[in-house]
Structure 1
Amino acid sequence: MILFVYAVLVFLVLRFCVTLFNFLSNPKLGYYSKHFSEKVSIIVLTSTVKQDVENLLTSIAEQDYEHTEVFVQHLESISELVNQTTGKYLLFLSPSTTVHFGLINNLMYRMKVFNLAVLSLIPTFKASGFIANCIYPLNDFLLLNLLPLRLVRLSSFSAFTAGSNDCLFFDATIYKQYKWHEKLHPKALEATEIIKLAKQQRLKAEVLLANKFVYNTVDVKDTASFSMRLLMNFSNNNLAALMYLTLVIVGPVIVSFDFNPALIILPIGLIFLSRVMIAFLTAQNPLLQVLLHPLQMIMLFGLMLRGIWGHIALSIKPKK
């Protein structure tokens, strides 16, 4: 038992160090006051015919960048759609997002300065309602607890990989040359896998927090896909996800009942500081995130188990 307690505490300290690194390195898209004129092709892929894209299109129209062309397509082969574009850059956006003033200029500045092939933004979530606030901050919590985001660009190791399908920005020439989507799925973009492929091909990739330049308005009803998104933080590794749940959720419960009460201050303090730092990084209410932490961990446990079960079901499903 004492070894398990030590493992829980060591893992908690390591997670805090990752969060602290993210907080100090501040991996956000900045406002750079630069203006460009290269053409950008904006592609919105909808999952259903009736999916509402009006808010997104309105936000694109209100951008300060005029050199764009916009494609909205339902379940079209990405390869065929990309061949219709004429922009020097490709911007893929999810229909659930809205973009804000300065986004495209800032993306292009980042691409040019660091000679990037692909840049992915983790959107700022707009969650309304009690249940949504218990669920949707969990993805940011996992990401910033597990991965130093700056190392995605600074390290050549493919293990340091993350990404969001909600906002992907590509150099169009490189994208058309490598056709990464065709190696994964002809009608889908998987940001994490694309960034991993880019790094394997010695190309530069980066993942940043959107810093309010991209918002995602979440749907609390779609918990199934969100469960799978959570699992992607572990590269869809069921064993790694189970170990994380054991050390992060089951472990602290056991420690609280079987540990010196005087030393409980350490894990509580680390958890408190972690939630505050993550809240500031992701433009969430720090006090609310601290108060909701116990409920969020219960939600995380259930959603992760659902995601693991769904992944197992997909892997054993017979192929047609």
Structure 2
Amino acid sequence: MMIFVYAVLVFLVLRFSVTLFNFLSNPKLGYYGKHFTDKVSIIILSAPSEDGVQSTLNAIEQQEYKYTEVIVQQLENEEELVNRASGKYLLFLEAGTVIRHGLINNLIYRVKVFELAVLSLVPTYIAAGFMEKCIYPLNDFLLLNLLPLRLVRLSRVPAFAAGNNGCLFFDAALCRQYNWHNKLKHKSGIEVVKQVKQQQLKAETLLANKFVYSKVELKGLDNFSERLFLNFGNSVPVALSYLALVVLGPVMVLLSFNPVLAVLPFGLIFLSRIMIAFLTLQNPFVQVLLHPLQMLLLFTLILKVILGRILRSFKPGK
């Protein structure tokens, strides 16, 4: 029992250290005050009936950057879309993603200065209701609690990868050469960044910092659960270990009835949620209050994915 409690405390300190590093390094897209004239092809990934396309188009029209062309996916594959695009850069946006002034100039500047093949931004979520406020911050929590974002660019190792489908900015020539866009709608941003790093090219993932917003509505949990699971490298043992140490661990510490042991984990959890909330432009007070419910939801969602994979493995022909 005590060995497990100490393992929980050590893991919690390590996770807090990662969160603190992210907070101090401030991995956000900055405003650089530069202006460019390179043509950018904006591709909106959407089915014809998908909501949110118009809000994305409206936001693009209000951009100060005018050297763009816009292509909306309508039952076409990504190969056809990219072949039609004539821009030097490709900006993939999910339907419902809203971009703000300065985004495209800042993306181009970042890609040019650091010679990036792809730059992925994690949008700031605007939750539609209570359940959205509970569930969608989980992705940011895992991202900033497990990986120092600055290492995505500084390290060529594919294991240090993170990404988001909401906003992906490619060098068009490299994207076509390596077919990173192929079936992008069915992959995650993490997998795309890994593919880029496997070619020993540079990739970067940053927080959007008010430049990109995503209005989220809870329409189904399966796809979101699978995306959460990617934060564990698609590994069932890693996911189970994380759930044991992060979700069950604090409960076991609380049940140990040792006030000294309880102060450390709950103090670090409180500080971690505050830092993550400030980084992702969420209400820190709300995130702290919702933390127990969010951890319960995280446990349920990840366990559902694991059980689903185990059951599929026992089906005939698997």
**TM value normalised by structure 2:** 0.95
Question: Could you tell me the percent identity over the aligned residues?
Answer: 63
Cα displacement string for residues 206-257 of structure 1 (whole angstroms, at most 9, x for unaligned residues): 0000011111111123222111111111122122111101100111111111
Partners of 2:240 and 2:65 in 1: how far apart?
45
Counterparts of 1:208-247 in structure 2 under 5 Å? 208-247=206-245
| Conserved 8 A contact 2:39-2:89 | yes
**Aligned equivalent of 1:159:** 159
- The AA in structure 2 aligned to 1:108 is I
Partners of 1:74 and 1:239 in 2: how far apart?
39
**Aligned equivalent of 1:68:** 68
- The AA in structure 2 aligned to 1:293 is H
Single out whichever of 172-181 and 113-122 deviates more from structure 2. 172-181
- The AA in structure 2 aligned to 1:39 is K
**Aligned equivalent of 2:40:** 40
Is 1:98 the counterpart of 2:94 in the alignment?
no
SS in 1 for 2:73: strand
- The AA in structure 1 aligned to 2:190 is T
Counterparts of 1:133-148 in structure 2 under 5 Å? 133-148=133-148
Partners of 2:58 and 2:241 in 1: how far apart?
44
Check 1:50–1:26 CA distance in 2 against 1; reply closer, same or farther (3 A cut). Answer: closer
Partners of 2:285 and 2:33 in 1: how far apart?
33
| Conserved 8 A contact 2:129-2:217 | no
| Conserved 8 A contact 1:131-1:220 | yes
Counterparts of 1:148-227 in structure 2 under 5 Å? 148-182=148-182, 185=183, 188-227=186-225
- The AA in structure 2 aligned to 1:295 is L
**Aligned equivalent of 2:122:** 122
- The AA in structure 1 aligned to 2:282 is Q
Partners of 1:314 and 1:60 in 2: how far apart?
42
Cα displacement string for residues 21-56 of structure 1 (whole angstroms, at most 9, x for unaligned residues): 000000000111111000000001114534340000
Check 1:30–1:237 CA distance in 2 against 1; reply closer, same or farther (3 A cut). Answer: same
Check 1:47–1:243 CA distance in 2 against 1; reply closer, same or farther (3 A cut). Answer: farther
SS in 2 for 1:283: coil
| Conserved 8 A contact 1:18-1:147 | yes
Is 1:108 the counterpart of 2:104 in the alignment?
no
CA RMSD of aligned residues (A): 1.8
Partners of 1:61 and 1:220 in 2: how far apart?
27
Q: Which runs of 5+ in 1 are unaligned?
A: none
Single out whichever of 302-311 and 206-215 deviates more from structure 2. 302-311
Single out whichever of 251-260 and 105-114 deviates more from structure 2. 251-260
Check 1:119–1:317 CA distance in 2 against 1; reply closer, same or farther (3 A cut). Answer: farther
Partners of 2:271 and 2:141 in 1: how far apart?
12
**TM value normalised by structure 1:** 0.95
Partners of 2:231 and 2:87 in 1: how far apart?
31
- The AA in structure 1 aligned to 2:20 is L
**Aligned equivalent of 1:256:** 254
Cα displacement string for residues 252-279 of structure 1 (whole angstroms, at most 9, x for unaligned residues): 1111111521231111110000000000
| Conserved 8 A contact 1:78-1:188 | no
Q: Which runs of 5+ in 2 are unaligned?
A: none
How many residues get paired?
Answer: 318
Is 1:26 the counterpart of 2:26 in the alignment?
yes
Partners of 2:308 and 2:110 in 1: how far apart?
37
| Cα shift at 1:190 | 2.9
Q: Which runs of 4+ in 1 moved over 4 A?
A: 311-320
Partners of 2:184 and 2:123 in 1: how far apart?
24
Check 1:318–1:57 CA distance in 2 against 1; reply closer, same or farther (3 A cut). Answer: farther
Partners of 1:226 and 1:258 in 2: how far apart?
34
Partners of 1:110 and 1:216 in 2: how far apart?
22
Partners of 1:314 and 1:97 in 2: how far apart?
34
| Cα shift at 1:316 | 6.1
SS in 2 for 1:264: helix
Partners of 1:209 and 1:240 in 2: how far apart?
25
Check 1:313–1:77 CA distance in 2 against 1; reply closer, same or farther (3 A cut). Answer: farther
Single out whichever of 36-45 and 188-197 deviates more from structure 2. 188-197
Cα displacement string for residues 121-147 of structure 1 (whole angstroms, at most 9, x for unaligned residues): 001000132222111111100100000
